[in-house]
Amino acid sequence: IDAVQEFQIATSRFGAELGRTGSSAVNIVTRSGSNSVKGVSSLFARDGAWQSRPSTLDTNADVPPFDRQQYSGALGGPLRRDAIFWFGSGEFRNQDGAVLVGARDAATRTIRRSFAPAPLDDGLWSLRVDAGAASNRITMRYAGERGLDTTSSAGERAIGSSTQRQDALNRYHAVLGTWTSVRSSTSVNSLSGSVSTFLNRTTPVV
């Protein structure tokens, strides 16, 4: 979140570089470094002791376990004053949650509600380098993600067992390069190229 400078939303009259679309176009502008070294960091935390029983559970049901820690930070500065700047950011989320499961109770011939662990670990990072003046600038940016989580699989019944959980892995890498040249007060040339890879692997626990 610390890498985002602004959101631009266009609902009509798109430029030629956006092509044709029947809805809006969203552009996310990332931050760049400057002549001074500046940084920011943040921590969001939520503990299971701070939550109450969800209203959808019976009054005698256990409170599902849950806690989350989310760290983020960003830092930027000059590689060469007035010429080359860098900006890096990272964010990590660790969450210990649970999914609702059922366990067969043969003695009472009922299904007891319980919870099975459903952890989540997700990392995001980016690095941007800008070189040149505002009238003639080259920008290179790399962004990546690695997320691993456990969730309930497609339910075949109203409440599943703990064996119906599945692990999912998301891995993402993207490199973007842009050269922007201001030719005159009425002309701007911009050339962009990007390469990205995305892997999603979902594996049932059993």
Distance, CA of 16 to CA of 112 (rounded, Å):
60
Average pLDDT over the chain, rounded to an integer? 87
Position 63 pLDDT exceeds 90 = no
For residue 151, the model assigns a pLDDT of 84
For residue 48, which amino acid is it?
A: G
**Number of C-beta neighbours around residue 1 at 10 A:** 12
Exposure of 206 by Cβ count < 10 A (0-12 exposed, 13-18 middle, 19+ buried)? exposed
Residues 148-172, mean pLDDT to the nearest whole number = 79
Strands 84-105 and 4-10 turn out to be unpaired
Residues 30-45, mean pLDDT to the nearest whole number = 93
Confidence class of residue 37 from pLDDT cuts 50, 70 and 90?
very high
Distance, CA of 160 to CA of 154 (rounded, Å):
9
For residue 175, the model assigns a pLDDT of 98
For residue 85, the model assigns a pLDDT of 96
For residue 111, the model assigns a pLDDT of 80
Confidence class of residue 157 from pLDDT cuts 50, 70 and 90?
low
Cβ atoms of 200 and 169 closer than 8 Å? yes
Confidence class of residue 2 from pLDDT cuts 50, 70 and 90?
confident
For residue 21, the model assigns a pLDDT of 64
Supply 165's token pair.
Answer: 């959980």
For residue 156, the model assigns a pLDDT of 57
Q: What is the pTM of this model?
A: 0.80
pLDDT tens digits for range 133-149:
888 999 999 999 999 99
Position 52 pLDDT exceeds 90 = no
Q: What is the DSSP letter of 39?
A: E
Q: What is the DSSP letter of 164?
A: G
Cβ atoms of 134 and 157 closer than 8 Å? no
For residue 206, the model assigns a pLDDT of 65
Position 163 pLDDT exceeds 80 = no
Q: 118 Cβ partners below 8 Å, 6+ apart?
A: 97, 98, 99, 149, 150, 151, 152, 165
Residues 117-123, mean pLDDT to the nearest whole number = 94
Confidence class of residue 200 from pLDDT cuts 50, 70 and 90?
very high
Distance, CA of 192 to CA of 27 (rounded, Å):
14
Task: Identify any residues that bridge with 46 across adjacent strands, giving them in sequence order.
Answer: 68
For residue 140, which amino acid is it?
A: M
